[in-house]
Chain A
Amino acid sequence: MAIRGTHDASARVKPKESFDFLHDERVRSAFYQLLTAGVVGWLIWYLVTNTAHNLEVRGMNTGFGFLSATAGFDTDFKLLEYEPGVGTYGRIFLIGCINTLLVSFLAIIASTILGFAVGVLRLSSNWLVARLALAYVEIIRNTPLLLQIIFWYVGVFALLPRVKQSLDLSAGAEVAFLNNRGLYTAWPIPGDFFWMSIVAFVIAVIGVFVLKRWAHKRQDDTGQQFPTVTASLALLFILPGMVFLATGSPLDWDVPTLQGFNFAGGAALPPAFLALLIALTIYHAAHLAESVRAGILSVNKGQTEAALALGLRPSRAMTLIIIPQAMRAIVPPMISLWMNVVKNSSLAIAIGYSDVVALFMQTALNQAGYAVEMVGMTMAFYMFISLSISGLLNIYNKRVQLVER
């Protein structure tokens, strides 16, 4: 002990710190950072001045004034009011963005459902089904998406019937038709008091949440289960339904009818939209299926065995024990897959669906010029969407990390 005392660190004479300018940690880190910032700053300045000079020399137009100029072309799919020769380029941009978001949103939902289904089928005890799922996953994952989109567009819509022989999807009710020009469905036109039904529906949804919490608490306290699903469904249907009838059924349907060349009325989805939706769904579902499979396999086998030993049926064991644990491994790749769906929807350009790239960065750019502005705006749009989705991922990761012990 005494020996240690003599060598006490505080008692030791500190060597005089010679301030070596070149080798000092702080000086160097500051220098590196300054250098990097300087180089990057110079590079940006250099590019900007070059661009400005080149634009001037080539007599090309600049500025965002074109957004309020009228565009002379039409688009076959739009959710906003627009008329060629009246609508502006700004509106074209909005239409493009909404179209991108619409197809991505639907593809995300569909591919998530299909991906989970296929991922589970990959682990099926049925040899043939497992093999078929494997073949699907391998074929889809190993060919370029661009080829697939073109394939669906060319191949599948060639098989659909012509307008005059449309398939009636509503089995004789004549409200939904599928033909090689797309999907036509009836579209609701709300009446005066329709908002009351919506309010009732919202109340019902809140009611379901309350019910669920109460049932959960009751199960925790007393061990008794409550038929939540049946009760929720009843609540969801009966309450808005009664309000709807009480206000006098204020809803009309705009039904598509065959007039001259085409169906008129109702809502129509063009084939390019459907082809893109199918291609994106199938492609990303195959990728998600692999993540799901890996996620399920990552759950310890003992968990399954324990669940089965408790007397749970295999399907219940899957939904109550395995999937919730696998989610931790599945969700991060799934969310980055969602980002990919949004990004890959830009391949619509190959089949002419009016997404933001095809409509704004191609057609509008071709008609009006303004390359820098248009490419910049399109990239900014995608960046905004992607960063929002990855923000979602970060929130999820934080929550999962909190749960971890």
Chain B
Amino acid sequence: MEYEVVIGCEVHVELKTKTKIFCSCPTDFGGEPNTHVCPVCLGLPGTLPVLNKKVLEYAIKAGLAMNCEIAHFSKFDRKNYFYPDLTKAYQISQFDLPICKNGYIDIETSEGKKKIGITRIHMEEDAGKLVHQGATITTSAGSLADYNRAGVPLIEIVSEPDMRSAEDVLAFLTNLKAIIEYTGVSDARMEQGSLRCDVNLSLRPAGQKEFGTRAEIKNLNSFRAVERVIKYEIDRQTDILESGGKVVQETRTWDDGKGMTFSLRSKEDSDEYRYFPDPDLTPIIVTDAYIEELRASLPELPQVKRARMIEEDGLPEYDAGVITASKALADFYDGVRAHYDDAKKISNWIMVELLAKVNAEGMELEAVKIQPEQMAALLKLVDSGDISGKIAKKVFAEMFATGKDPADIIKEQGLVQISDEDALKEMVSHVVEANPKSVEDYKAGKTKAMGFLVGQIMKQSRGQANPAVINKLLAEKLDSM
């Protein structure tokens, strides 16, 4: 039977505030265990939470960037369950009145464009970290609890089950990540756990309206894992259905090493969270004025930026898509563009040279030493004929390594292009005399020989000769022979 895949995502994004959601402990990563904690985030008896204003601001900004309605009245609720990483036996979260709802994110895939609905975005606190003593949670003799992460602010973004393929999901996550990065509310780095994704996946016979039973796969922390999980779950659920079985509604976990998901707990155990309004926290009233103030403070978002690059700068859709998928890259592009006009040239350099280097080094874009002004200066030096394109690549490599100005590198290494005809004529004569065979070939009509001779001259000039001048001089020389 043909099955249709139905996928929805729950994405947890860690907000980039200085302090935790309900206390003044720092959110910094690292540090010795249990040193970024206080009585409040440890949930010690008698302590009380007070909401970090920045968390509300960031949650609303994220909601606006995803086209959500912002709730004028919102509140916090307690989600009650026992687990050693939870200091109060409840997580402070939002249940029936989340801060944002009914938004969407645009995606574009090989199937075309579509909107993925955002059901809701709510604020909540993170739990602590458990270190298992032993190979895995199931074989460990015990566990150790570190509460440095307890109380770090999160937003949970819940999508509608609007996705139908891994490609949809990856496009959704890519755009979601970019939007979050642009708004500046989070670093949104999956590798570091500041963006985590749960995938809800079910199958239904093609054409059927009702959804099938879904499995929820928790805590995926790379795009690659998301892609693999989806493929794996589609196969697993197809096998179950084909063999006449029933998919169990449950939470599953992904073992990246084994490339398999396995059951964590069935839904009946975990469903009973006994949500109720947290009496320790007061309601949140958001005014239109505040919403508009935050809307006005939002930077240009990826979709808009992408459209601008295509329409105003004339970039191909592909280039604009790659550049806007990362805020750092788009910022770099904009920075260069402010000093240099030829958008396509900028894009080529970014897509080919810059990304190649960054990927080869496996580094973060934020760590790139080259400033946009320096990049613009390099392109101008090529345009003016001061250096050749080939030399420019060499200069670029040096800029990438050291962060130095291109002009300084050129001066230090003596890389200025030689366009002086007198100086080059000598080199041309020299090469022509040394390669009589090639000259003969050229005369016999083998134009390829010309290329060989240019190459030899460039080699002698250590790449600094102006190729246009060489071509002209060489042609004159050969024709005169």
A binds B: no
Which B residues contact A (CB, under 8 angstroms)? none
